[in-house]
Structure 1
């Protein structure tokens, strides 16, 4: 199955409109000649010091205002150096299209009092890009000890590093996100977003350091990106539609996940997700769809294609879990309100670190429908044990799958 014409059109438009490869770093996000901004756009000219100690927050906020108040296409320059900052809300609407050229390193202060919520938050902006070879370093090791989410599910959330809220037509390319305090990137209520050739890194035991989280967003493509973190490499939340993940390498981490679904009231459906040509190495889960056992809402999860995925020493490579219940906060009835349907796992191969290479743990009252296992070849990589599939309340078919995995 190929990508939808809509998704390909969107990506092509972004590549043309926001062309930001090193050879074309000055190309506009959208058409229109630059106008003269109200002041400098190079943060050093606005007082920022790349010494890793001086507070550069106000210089970056000033550069944003100068660019946002102009018209045409404006490019903010963050040159080589280490720039320490606190929380930055880069909000619109703007009259211009804005490119941030990041060649230096942004450092998030370890003083949690400097954040109301997130670190770098792009809000209500249209036609926006970040490109370059620099790093967004959350300096998570300074504060990870303050994370209590492993003990309490209703914990205080530490700042996410890069957040896109209500953003339309955006491109993040070439940069590195390092050691976030919480999520590295959070894309919420946004449209037409491309994340391309980005590197995201944190230790495998770092708490809640998801690579990229997507929620209530449409037409999001993640391509050619390498993610190794302490939680989900990519998590796709409620309200996500037309999501494309291609050529991603994941590990360490918890894999590529849809959900959790059903935790809150009035969650929206997840639909049209394609994960293709990806590699997962040493992750604690592989391709996962998870929803709460006593879900508070009834979103539908449908139209999923996982194709051409390589598993290397992955625990639970394929898993649908409609009885997800972290910290035992659920009423264990076996029931669910989240319907899962039309899920295809095709040309999935490699090794499993557990005997249970396939787990379809669907709800008693709402079985999974239309699940297909096509040319799935997974083998438990330990000696003297057999690979197995465990399937409960799942309807579908197995094609070209070894007998021990053909549970549909």
Structure 2
């Protein structure tokens, strides 16, 4: 199964990589920008209405477009988007809270979404999306699930797409999201979300994930760079046949599967995942899996729990980690963000099935302020964790000593991760 999936990824990646441009367009729309600071969204919508099928849409180079209203760019087909210029979002908090494009998972709000098939979005190395996120970091003050924080770029219900060669700066929430999409190549993307107040108040940058996938299949993310305050990549529920390769992440939470089990009674599935050739600098975690507690406490996005499901056929390999502040190899069950009065994990253990998951060739060192735990697998007594493996985990403590291993409720391993 894993071999077949790898072949499919490779074939799809080659096909999509060849689709750098679509056949000669029937129509070309060059989007004008206002000169008086007014909203350019109507002109953008008009361009996609006219040229969004069998056409080309061009954002002009050395031009800044003011985005003051939500962009739902739907029903696209055989379209090339040349994003040479800069798209800059307004800081009208009230507007975005009231008008973002809603998606149920964690009540996310999307500022610009593309939907359709056979879409190429190319920034040609100059295209930039500026979310002006500082206003949201200051407003959220650590409440990652604050409603209305706008996601600046989303591929939603897309089939066959390439997104490449552009930057997303200062995202209001997650940076680059793929929802209910399939057959997507993401190549040479630069992400940066940094807060002016990060050193004094690092919590206010929470939930600025780099790349997120939800209910999507066959996604490749490669040759990209991210400096974000949360997960560099997060494979959320419904993520299948995913491949991450040649990714560099700064100040992130690592490469994550989850969170899973947040919705009571809902079955979450993640399978056939490969993340390789990843460098993490100043990360909280390395490659990890996170699930919610076994009983709902409050409601998403800040609360939740009580779901189930499975994670299987996952490969994490060739990771280099520097200055990590937690464990490079981690599974943590009993995640919660609900605040006070959360029951103990032992009282509400989660369920789930985790199988055929491997971590191999991890190098680097941990932060001097944390312990030496290189591997931390803590599975719930009501979950099944089997087929786990690790090889060549050489992440040292800050003083150069070998990291320690801790395994709980993992089939085939004792508490110090020695095979039984």
TM range (shorter): 0.7 to 0.9
Q: Which residue of 1 aligns with 2:233?
A: 234
With over 3 angstroms needed to count, the CA separation of the structure-2 counterparts of 1:407 and 1:121, relative to structure 1, is: farther
How far 1:208 moved relative to its partner? 1.6
Q: How far off its partner does 1:112 sit?
A: 2.1
Match runs of 1:7-406 below 5 Å: 7-17=9-19, 19=20, 27-28=21-22, 32-36=23-27, 41-44=29-32, 48-49=33-34, 53-68=37-52, 70=53, 72-94=54-76, 96-115=77-96, 116-117=99-100, 118=109, 120-132=111-123, 133-147=126-140, 150-151=142-143, 155-203=146-194, 205=202, 206-264=205-263, 265-294=265-294, 295-315=305-325, 316-326=327-337, 327=339, 329-330=342-343, 332=345, 333=347, 335-353=349-367, 354=370, 355-382=372-399, 387-396=403-412, 406=418
Shift of 1:50: 6.5
Distance 1:89 1:267, change over 3 A: farther
CA distance in 1, matches of 2:389, 2:72: 44
Mapped to 2, the partners of 1:361 and 1:50 lie a distance apart of 57
| Aligned equivalents of 2:279, 2:413: Cα separation in 1 | 25
- Between the aligned partners of 2:14 and 2:145, the Cα distance in structure 1 is 41
Q: 1:273 to 1:101 in 2, by over 3 A?
A: same
Q: Cα distance, 1:13 vs. partner?
A: 1.2
User: What CA distance in whole angstroms lies between the structure 2 residues aligned with 1:11 and 1:348?
Assistant: 26
Displacement, 1:154? 6.0
CA distance in 2, matches of 1:405, 1:325: 26
Q: Distance in 1 between matches of 2:343 and 2:190?
A: 36
Q: Where does the alignment leave 5 or more consecutive residues of structure 1 unmatched?
A: 20-26
Shift of 1:358: 1.2
Secondary structure of 2:383's aligned partner: coil
Aligned-pair CA distance for 1:349: 1.4
Distance in 2 (CA, whole Å) between partners of 1:296 and 1:123 is 32
Specify every segment of 5 or more residues in structure 2 that has no aligned partner in the other structure, as ranges: 101-108, 295-304
CA distance in structure 2 between the partners assigned to 1:229 and 1:4 by the alignment: 28
Q: Tell me, what secondary structure is at the counterpart of 2:151?
A: coil
Cα pair distance change 1:375/1:170, threshold 3 Å = same
Higher strand share: 2
Cα offset, 1:79, TM superposition: 2.4
Q: Which moved more, 1:213-222 or 1:115-124?
A: 115-124
3-state SS in 2 of match to 1:180: coil
CA contact (8 A) 1:239 1:267 kept: no
Aligned length: 380
Q: Is the 2:315–2:359 Cα contact (8 Å) retained in structure 1?
A: yes
TM-score, normalising length from structure 2?
0.84
After TM superposition, the score normalised by the length of structure 1 is 0.86
Would the alpha carbon gap of residues 49 and 111 (structure 1) be closer, same or farther in structure 2, given more than 3 Å must change? same
Q: What is the CA RMSD across the aligned residues, in angstroms?
A: 2.4
